[in-house]
Amino acid sequence: MKKTVKKGLVPYLFLILVMLGIFYFFNVMNQKVNVLTYDELMKAFDNKQVTEIEVTPKERAKVYEIRGKLSDYKENETFYSRVPLSDAVMNRILDSNDEYSFELVTVADPESSSLLLILVNVVPMIILVGGAIYLFSKQMKGNSNSMDFGRSKAKLNTDDNKVTFQDVAGLKEEKQEVKELIDFLKSPKKFQKLGARIPKGVLLVGPPGTGKTLLARAVAGEANVPFYYISGSEFVELFVGVGASRVRDMFKQAKHNAPCLIFIDEIDAVGRQRGTGLGGGHDEREQTLNQLLTEMDGFGANEGIIVIAATNRADVLDPALLRPGRFDRQVVVGLPDPKEREEILRVHARNKVLAPTVKLEAIAKRTPGFSGADLENLLNEAALLAVRRDKNQITMAEVDEATDRVIAGPAKTSRKYSQHEKELVAYHEAGHAVLGLKLDDANVVQKITIIPHGQAGGYNLMLPKEERNFASRTELLDQITGLLGGRVMEEIHFHEVTTGAQNDFEKATKIARSMVTEFGMSDLGPIQLEQQEEGVFLGRDYNKTRNFSNEVAHEIDLQMRKIINTCYDKAKQVLTENLDLVKLIADALMEYEVLTKEQIDYLVSHGEMPKEEDLLEEENKTIDSNLSVEKKDNDEQEDSTLTELRKKAKEKGIKGYTKMTKEELEKELEK
């Protein structure tokens, strides 16, 4: 605050000085000074024209400097004259000035004062030299980046609030992989005794927001060793050779602080595959990469230096960077599963005030495909909504709306539908919902709303019944059928089609083409005809090799059309058989605009919308059922653990192990 006040006063002080200088300049310019000779001065004294004088004796020059006024002068007019100190006439006049009736002022000689001499002659020189030095140093400081191009920009982590593995939720296997680095840095002899060599580099690979940088920070916090961090883009500069120099300087600093860790974020900015690609090569980036390769595993040894890098584009990295001896180990940091999502939500909910009705387990099941960053953003959006609504705690209503905002964008409540459009959107979304209910392998509807979100006129949150790593052909066909439900219902109920199914067709066509060209799930047989698109600006070839002829391309189109038409006919059949259910859900949507999974299930079972106490009763039944299943699983796990402990106790020859509890067995085995 004080610095701000000082900075605010400086311009005003400068303005005052400028105004004073201008005032003094004009004041001096208005003064008229007449220079009188000795004879003219004596004549003025004889005629008694002198009214006032100011006499300054100059010892070194041996003269009097005389300033004064004559009787016929104007107010701004004065005279100046010089008279020798030895002049008898002048000394007589000064001694007996009563005879001439003028006012006399005598001023001491400034040259006789050593302090004044220093102030007049030395201080201005000091000010000039000091000002020049200040301006020069400021200029040099401003151009410091140009003077140390080759210096490393890696920063040493000195943060007191260190991140540990407790702050990293989920990632159990990933933490175990990097935990070896910490053990090596703390006790390297344990590894060297068995001839083990710790990886020189660990590459963290995964989608954005999955916690790669957070995991690297946790490694540094746990190891308690110097931790340098830098972004890959900070190596590359306009001038060739600067990046290579920075790499050398970074490893030089690291060697002085070994053992230590170096973390390079977004390494694909500097480690892309060497080669021309489209648009020519990049000498600066390639030289930087060459130097990095040499430093990691060249002629020199980097004992005690472990490099951790993160990227979400491992496919574009140079093969030389990934060979053993450089990045020996790749740790895939993938999207979290339901259990890991629940753990991540618990970490981010530490400082949130959640209502008792908010179940993190339920939120985790509703958010497949969410990364850790997405989950943090979801809870933050829910907190912002609760503040906006003047609530003291975050309820499930805010969490549901925050989920919609993250997936589809904020609700546009100001956009009003006509009655016909409202009915159209309601039946469109009801078509999706009924197919999700009636098809065994289709995605299950979690929430329906006819309130516009983002670019969508309506919004239907459909999730798989359970998360799987693989999808069967039947599941993919049912997913396509569910996506076509909106268009089919428009055709059945309104005998007309609209543009509202554009996004549904895009998703359905993508799944169908992948089934034919990538997954081998068509009459063309188990053959891969296409691959994922590669970026031509990433060092890839511009001309891709076609794995099929024009005749096969025609067959691909026919197979895609066959899949889509089959699913369309199936959707029409299912919806025609369940028109009453479609109408029930559509009417409820037009009245309430938003339906949750619990409301839809109750509506299907009872034929009417539930009351709040009905939903609470259903929720309690579900909770009791989940608790009983969880208790059964825990009991089975407890029995399995006890059996394993007794087996180990028998092998070690512990007496009376059959009568011991789990805790007693663990203590005996530790001994």
List the catalytic residues: 429
Of 501, 452, 507, 451, nearest to 480 (Cα)?
Answer: 507
Pairwise CA distance, residues 644 & 575, whole Å: 53
Q: How many CA atoms lie within 13 A of 132 on its CB side?
A: 6
Pairwise CA distance, residues 618 & 598, whole Å: 8
* Rg over CA atoms, the chain: 43
The answer to whether 289 and 274 are in contact (CB under 8 A) is: yes
The answer to whether 304 and 191 are in contact (CB under 8 A) is: no
Pairwise CA distance, residues 199 & 358, whole Å: 44
Distances (CA, A) of 493 to 360, 431, 526, 557, 579: 39, 10, 40, 30, 9
Helix (H), strand (E), coil (C) string for 487-508: HHHHHHHHCCCCHHHHHHHHHH
Pairwise CA distance, residues 621 & 259, whole Å: 57
Q: From the CB of residue 328, how many other CB atoms can be counted at a distance below 10 Å?
A: 17
Pairwise CA distance, residues 331 & 333, whole Å: 6
Residue 265 forms beta bridges with which residues?
231, 310
The answer to whether 369 and 406 are in contact (CB under 8 A) is: no
String of DSSP letters for 546-569: P-S-HHHHHHHHHHHHHHHHHHHH
Residues sharing a CB contact under 8 Å with residue 458, sequence separation 6 or more, in sequence order: 425, 426, 428, 429, 448, 449, 450, 451, 452, 500
